[in-house]
Amino acid sequence: MNGNMIIKNAAELVTCSGFAAKKGPQMAELNIINDGTVMIKDGIIEAVGKSREIDQQLKTAGTDQSDFEMVDARGKAVLPGFVDSHTHLVFGGYRAEEFSWRLRGDSYMQIMQRGGGIISTVEATRQASSEELLQSGIKRLNSMLSFGVTTVEGKSGYGLNCETEIKQLDVMARLDQVHYVDVVPTFLGAHAVPQDFKGKQDAFIDFLISDVLPRVTEQQLAEFCDIFCEKDVFSISQSRRLLSRAKDLGLKLKMHADEIIQLGGAELAAELGAVSADHLLQASDQGIKDMAAAGVVATLLPATAFSLKEPYAAARKMIDANCAVALATDFNPGSCFTESIPLVFALATLYMNMSTEEAITALTINGAAALDRADQIGSIDTGKKGDVVILEFPSYTYIPYHLAVSTVEKVIKQGNLVYDKEKGGIIHC
Ligand code: NIG
Ligand code: FE
């Protein structure tokens, strides 16, 4: 595994080329090279183009091709690795019973208000050892990798005290080291109000600001700070207070915004210069305008809306208003227990009026932009990480067409083959 690979003769090399979020009509541009080749050296993409041209370049440069693993992608489509920019992947316990309660008619917020929901995962996560969280995290990352995910964001928020928030973030740092998939950590200490602060949201925000946030930033355990800004959880002014402090301490911002009630979360994300605002099922027209103007990536999570039987976010309206839209799974033990990228593609295209091209942009370069990494990942461009997926089919159009089933045959992480369906799955070095 030396990070040197040449993937040649791809029927479609879907580059998604770009180094920043794609807004509005740009989202439909995939920059496809028919019969394309990509050359990765030391884990970084060094050349991209027509197979004939790259072959010529290599010959002229006298490159010794025996230093490279050669992959023939004849008859296959090749894309950038998917970026799942919103998940809650480190947690203890499960909540299968809640799914049954919701089938019976209970709502997500009703379950939360009677002490279930996030708070029950908090109990289980406080009790879990780091080792248990690490092992379950590895299994979940394996599953994500099989769907073609090469970078994932993960949130804390199942600790709600200093010790367990830090434990979750530490586990994410270890997962990033031990697993092929890159893990981007987000501090979500303001995910719910813990029992000991019941009815005292402001005091809890004070506690996060005085006790937890400084430790997270001193130990450099998170890149982002997020908050569940929602009626009966954290208000707009509480969100503004926590996020402003986090920004002062050098964290980038995300928000769970306007998910169930229209509170003005999208507007606040724009005001604070957040990198992304997520969920947005109830975002107002003004909020959409503000996000477009401020360059906030609107991160939509259709599998959550599907799982909660809520209306989908207005993706079409957002794209038409010139927003940059990203898609992610929101994988978590409550509202959306799925790491399925194919399900997200199915819902986005069939129920949110997104074209296949827009959905691919939303899961690649715009997912990267939602993590402020559009200069490093999310497209097949020279200088970026060699993170690539090879489909079993000749065209990207098979992704939503093969409904909710993965079309990914191989995954390449920084120039190394790490998943091969034909060889039984994950390749362990
Ligand atoms: O993004 N909405 C709040 N947080 C998560 C759900 C977390 C949970 O239910 O455990 C979400 O949907
Ligand atoms: Fe979430």
Residues less than 5 Å from ion ligand 2, measured at CB = 330
- Which CATH superfamily is 5-80+377-426 part of? Urease, subunit C, domain 1 (2.30.40.10)
* Residue with CA closest to ligand 1 atom 6: 335
* Residue with CA closest to ligand 1 atom 3: 228
Residue 186 near residue 225, CB atoms below 8 Å? yes
Give me the residue spans of the domains in the chain: 5-80+377-426, 83-369
- CA 157 – ligand 1 centroid, Å: 9
Q: Shortest CA distance to 68 belongs to which of 395, 416, 427, 425?
A: 416
* Nearest atom within ligand 1 for CA of residue 118: 10
* Nearest atom within ligand 1 for CA of residue 108: 9
72 burial via Cβ count (<10 Å: 0-12, 13-18, 19+)? exposed
| CATH C-level class of 83-369 | alpha beta
Which whole-number Å values give the CA distances from 5 to 93, 346, 409, 410, 424, in the listed order? 40, 31, 16, 13, 21
Q: Shortest CA distance to 260 belongs to which of 288, 276, 283?
A: 283
pTM recorded for the entire structure: 0.98
Residue 100: its H or E element: helix 96-104
pLDDT recorded at residue 116: 86
How many CA atoms lie within 13 Å of 298's alpha carbon, on the beta-carbon side? Answer: 36
- CA 130 – ligand 2 centroid, Å: 22
pLDDT recorded at residue 418: 98
**pLDDT above 70 as % of the chain:** 100
Q: Shortest CA distance to 129 belongs to which of 185, 88, 98, 174?
A: 174
Per-residue pLDDT tens digits for 91-103: 999 999 999 999 9
- CA 210 – ligand 1 centroid, Å: 25
pLDDT exceeds cutoff 90 at 234: yes
Ligand 1 binding pocket, CB closer than 6 Å: 88, 117-118, 121, 228, 256, 259, 304, 330, 332-336
**pLDDT above 90 as % of the chain:** 97
Helix axes 130-146, 162-178, angle to 10 degrees: 50
User: 312: which DSSP letter?
Assistant: P
Residue 90: its H or E element: none
- CA 348 – ligand 2 centroid, Å: 17
Strands (E), 31-161: 32-41, 44-50, 69-72, 77-80, 82-84, 149-155
* Nearest atom within ligand 1 for CA of residue 330: 1
Nearest-angstrom CA–CA distance, 83 and 149:
6
* Nearest atom within ligand 1 for CA of residue 278: 1
- CA 86 – ligand 2 centroid, Å: 6
Strands (E), 181-227: 182-190, 224-227
Average pLDDT estimate for 246-253:
98
- Residue 382: Cβ within 10 Å count: 13
Average pLDDT estimate for 135-147:
98
The strand order across the sheet containing 149-155 reads: 82-84, 149-155, 182-190, 224-227, 252-257, 276-279, 297-300, 324-327
Indicate the top mutation candidate among 307, 329, 336, 344 to test ligand 1's pocket, ranked by most ligand atoms within 8 A of CB: 336
Nearest-angstrom CA–CA distance, 97 and 74:
47
- Residue 62: Cβ within 10 Å count: 6
Q: Shortest CA distance to 338 belongs to which of 301, 364, 313?
A: 301
pLDDT recorded at residue 428: 85
Indicate the top mutation candidate among 85, 261, 330, 338 to test ligand 1's pocket, ranked by most ligand atoms within 8 A of CB: 330
pLDDT recorded at residue 115: 81
* Residue with CA closest to ligand 1 atom 1: 330
**Residue-wise DSSP of 331-395:** --SSS-----HHHHHHHHHHHS---HHHHHHHHTHHHHHHTT-TTTSSS--TTSB--EEEESSSS
pLDDT recorded at residue 387: 99
Instruction: Read off the amino acid at residue 209.
Output: I
Radius of gyration of the chain (CA): 21
- CA 330 – ligand 2 centroid, Å: 5
Average pLDDT estimate for 253-276:
97
Mapped to the 3 state alphabet, what secondary structure does 397-418 carry? CHHHHCCCCCCEEEEEECCEEE
- CA 140 – ligand 2 centroid, Å: 16
* Residue with CA closest to ligand 1 atom 8: 334
pLDDT recorded at residue 366: 99
Indicate the top mutation candidate among 110, 111, 191 to test ligand 1's pocket, ranked by most ligand atoms within 8 A of CB: 191
